[in-house]
Structure 1
Amino acid sequence: MVGVHGVFNMSAKDHSGLDERARVLLRVKNGQWEFAQDLN
């Protein structure tokens, strides 16, 4: 099922149902949010 926060595919072993498309890493740089592709 497609939802606001990602694609849900629940199973007996996966109760949240969200896959890697629902995960993002953000950081604050100069007071602004930005996507963190590589934190190195």
Structure 2
Amino acid sequence: MESFFATLKQELVYHRQYQTRKEAREDIFEYIQVWYNRKHN
């Protein structure tokens, strides 16, 4: 799990500035869905 969160931060969070928490949640949710679906389909 720690590896996943490190990857999430490196590939997504550190490269963006979010105006709201909602915007961040939506972006992170989309990232997780794409990442998970690629790995498990």
| TM-score interval for Structure 1 and Structure 2 normalised by the shorter chain | under 0.3
Q: TM-score normalized by structure 1?
A: 0.25
For the pair shown, the structure with the greater C-alpha radius of gyration is 1
Q: Which has the higher contact order (CA 8 A, sep 6+)?
A: 2
Structure number with higher strand proportion = 1
